[in-house]
């Protein structure tokens, strides 16, 4: 799979001493930190494009404005709403196309550890609601639970581990099955306002029809 996206972060900081802005984009890893209580943060991808090939089928997906809107609930928790205003799916083999609004993802993030602890852990339960236009989604409710763990192995380098359990709909539409996601992310500051990141990601989807294995190596600038 090949993916490319442009990240734009829009945030207003009214207070003088707010903590640094912390995002869950553009990498696959989830950050441990949360939005300050009472604050709203918007993370938006202007455009994204991906290409996947499965069993000889070439599928292209174009997304516009994919966003997460986050509301800080407390010093350690926030509520997140993810959505894609417009997506276009094209299957090259048969020429089929679908476009419109995407699925809605609701996430709750709670940091389990204190501010000064060397190892930081967060819990992120989430659910996907089938709001996508016909042909874009599977019209099923799905969800999962992520447990990111972050620490500094050396200097200013941060390592994040991202175990995640997903509950996905079967391809035949008659039940649900599990999927296991994991990743290793390394990030470090390249300049006062620039962060460099690299990560390895795996996904094992245990669909009854067949097990699907995916892996990727990714790099990002924030």
pLDDT in tens, 58-108: 899 999 999 999 999 999 999 999 999 999 999 877 778 999 999 999 999
Residue 214 and residue 207: Cα distance in Å, rounded? Answer: 13
pLDDT of residue 17: 64
Cα R_g (the chain), whole angstroms: 18
Residue 222 and residue 214: Cα distance in Å, rounded? Answer: 25
pLDDT of residue 1: 46
Q: Contact, 41 vs 14, CB < 8 A?
A: no
pLDDT of residue 55: 73
Tell me how many degrees the CA angle 66-207-55 measures, rounded to the nearest 5: 75
User: 63: which 2 tokens?
Assistant: 């997304």
Residue 183 and residue 221: Cα distance in Å, rounded? Answer: 18
pLDDT of residue 128: 98
Residue 23 and residue 33: Cα distance in Å, rounded? Answer: 8
Q: Contact, 145 vs 132, CB < 8 A?
A: no
Residue ranges in the chain modelled with pLDDT below 50: 1-15
Residue 129's contacts (CB-CB under 8 Å, 6 or more residues apart) are: 103, 104, 105, 106, 141
pLDDT of residue 15: 46
Tell me how many degrees the CA angle 106-112-117 measures, rounded to the nearest 5: 140
pLDDT of residue 64: 95
């Amino acid at each position: 799979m090949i993916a490319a996206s442009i990240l734009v972060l829009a945030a207003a900081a009214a207070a003088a001493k707010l903590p640094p802005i912390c995002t869950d984009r553009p990498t696959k890893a989830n950050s441990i930190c949360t939005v300050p209580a009472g604050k709203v943060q918007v993370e938006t991808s202007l455009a994204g494009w991906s290409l996947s090939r499965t069993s000889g089928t070439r599928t292209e997906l174009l997304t516009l404005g994919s966003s997460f809107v986050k509301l800080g609930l407390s010093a350690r928790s926030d509520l997140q709403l993810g959505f894609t205003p417009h997506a276009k799916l094209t299957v090259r083999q048969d020429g089929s196309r679908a476009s419109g609004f995407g699925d809605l993802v609701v996430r709750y993030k709670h940091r389990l550890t204190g501010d000064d602890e060397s190892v930081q852990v967060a819990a992120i339960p989430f659910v996907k609601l089938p709001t996508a236009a016909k042909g874009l989604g599977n019209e099923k409710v799905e969800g999962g639970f992520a447990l990111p763990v972050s620490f500094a192995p050396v200097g200013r380098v941060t390592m994040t581990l991202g175990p995640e359990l997903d509950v996905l709909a079967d391809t035949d539409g008659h039940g649900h099955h599990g999927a296991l996601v994991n990743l290793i992310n390394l990030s470090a500051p390249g300049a006062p306002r620039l962060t460099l990141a690299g990560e390895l990601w795996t996904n094992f989807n245990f669909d009854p029809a067949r097990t699907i294995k995916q892996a990727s190596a990714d790099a990002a600038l924030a």
